[in-house]
Amino acid sequence: MITETQLVEVVKQVKASSKKRKFKQAIELIVNFKDIDVKKGFALNDIVQLPKTSSPATVCVMATGEMGTQAKAANADSVIGTDELEKFGKNKRESRKFINKYDFFLADTQVMPAVGKTLGQLLGPRGKMPTPVPFNADIAAFLARFRTSIKIRTRASLSLACKIGDESMSDEDLAVNAHTVISAIEKKLPNGEKNIKKIMIKTTMGKPVKQMQEVKKKHA
């Protein structure tokens, strides 16, 4: 498996080759797979908690009663109840705009049926179906975990791309995040790292750098 030291070198090359922009660019990890038959339903759909973050993910909590109150106290980005869900269920345009605002959704298990009925058809295809939160669970702990997490998702495809941070972060922190995500992906592949063809990193507007094999040769 590619090491954090090797990934640091890739990140340095990415930053060095990237033109300065008027906005803070994201740093993205790209993983290409091999020897996997996508026709057999190969898919990845997991949440990975990153060790290092510069900006938290946005999280919406769908809950009422005590959980809703606790979610507001924990400064969830948004807290909506069944009344709001019913309104969204009647307006798909507003529903799409609402869904696109947030990275993750959490929902009280008692509210999940209403979520499925009103927003399920929009959340499902986007890979944003809420994570159920059991009664009496510590919603603040759930929020803390998801704020430092990313979604890794691919369906019937031999490649995956995800954000691992932004260019304001140190090379070492970005490498740690990349290594964490790669490790999580390997555990989900039929033959682990043998199913990884190449690993690349890029900025939002930059070109991908560099294939895993090339990096290994450099350090051989």
CA distances from 157 to 32, 36, 100, 161, 175 (A): 9, 9, 23, 11, 25
Residue 41: pLDDT band by 50, 70, 90 thresholds? Answer: confident
Residue 213: pLDDT band by 50, 70, 90 thresholds? Answer: very low
> Which residue bears the tokens 């090797």?
6
Nearby residues of 94 by Cβ (< 8 Å), 6 or more positions away: 87, 88
What one-character DSSP code corresponds to residue 209?
B
- Distance between first and last Cα of the chain: 14
Q: Please say if the pLDDT value at position 117 is more than 50.
A: yes
Closest CA to 80 of 34, 114, 45: 114
Q: Please say if the pLDDT value at position 139 is more than 50.
A: yes
Q: Looking at residue 220, what is its pLDDT?
A: 42
**What is the pTM for the complete model shown?**
0.87
Q: Please say if the pLDDT value at position 164 is more than 70.
A: yes
The answer regarding whether domain 59-146 maps to CATH 2.40.30.10 reads no
What are the residue boundaries of the structural domains of the chain, listed by start? 4-54+150-218, 59-146
Lowest mean pLDDT among 79-83, 135-139, 164-168, 209-213: 209-213
Q: What is the mean pLDDT of residues 8-35?
A: 94
Q: For residues 139 and 74, is the Cβ–Cβ distance under 8 A?
A: yes
Residue 89: pLDDT band by 50, 70, 90 thresholds? Answer: confident
> Which residue bears the tokens 């927003």?
119
CA dihedral for 5, 161, 101, 78, sign (positive or negative)? negative
Q: Looking at residue 211, what is its pLDDT?
A: 55
Domains 4-54+150-218 and 59-146 share a fold: no
The answer regarding whether domain 4-54+150-218 maps to CATH 3.30.190.20 reads yes
